[in-house]
Amino acid sequence: MASLVFDIETASLGTEPFDDTQLEYLFRDAERLPEPDARSQRREEIERMMSLWPFTSQVVCIAMVNPETRRGQVVFVAPEYEESGEAATGPVEFVTCLDETELLTAFWDVAKSYDQVITFNGRGFDVPFLYLRSALLNVPISRKNWLGYRFATEPHCDLAEQLSFYGVSGREGAARRFNLDFYCKAFGIESPKSKGVSGMDVGDLLKAGRHREIAEYCLRDVEATVQLYEIWRDRLAGIK
């Protein structure tokens, strides 16, 4: 069975695309606060969260790796980037796209060749995000079964679900869910954040035109996920 490990990076669209009614809806919680400082702080929190919602943000990068061959591709939006197709260290190709529509189209073209996807929190974030952004941009979706049955690893193995045993312990128990950085450090895997970049930096990097840095960070996420998957597969898979 052919498997694909992937991860996405997203960035806020800002407030300009939205009309007054939409903005009122987005910032309603902030405007209810009586204190100006608290109101301003809440608005900033909402603006940061806008990068996590598919109706207020965009996909700017997707990294994909076959865990068996370690070959893969990173597609990322970079309208003025001139090094399209440049190979990174190892068998992973970096490919630039003019816009999000081209990026999503390229991703779904690759996805149709794989029977299983492996992610970290992909069921809760990456997959629904891709589905909704593709629908908004009218990009055909080649795999519509990735949300699937939660308590199964085919066609979607979500390591965040597997390592927390589907939330069996709740937020505070023995199998509580941690983030990818924490799991990597616990299992002796180099963290994707070890180079000083995190998902919170993507928006600023995009504004600065540092597209390649976003792509390299996204690839580090995927490479760490591949290693975490191998540990889960070899040591924990099959536990019920």
Q: What is the pLDDT of residue 62?
A: 98
Domains and CATH numbers, the chain: 3-13+58-235 (3.30.420.10), 19-55 (no CATH)
Neighbours of 92 (CB within 10 A): 19
Provide the strand spans (E) within 86-133: 92-97, 116-119
pLDDT, tens digit, 9 for 90 and up, residues 135-161: 999 999 999 999 989 999 999 999 999
Each residue's pLDDT tens digit, 74-102: 999 998 765 544 444 569 999 999 999 99
Q: What is the pTM of this model?
A: 0.94
Tens-digit pLDDT profile for residues 182-238? 999 999 999 999 888 888 899 999 999 999 999 999 999 999 999 999 999 999 999
Residue 34 binned pLDDT confidence (cut-offs 50, 70, 90)? very high
Nearest Cα residue to 58 out of 136, 147, 140: 136
Q: pLDDT tens digits for 38-55? A: 999 999 999 999 999 999
Higher pLDDT, 84 or 18: 18
With CA atoms as reference, report the closest residue to 91 among 123, 68, 120.
Answer: 68
State the pLDDT at residue 89: 52
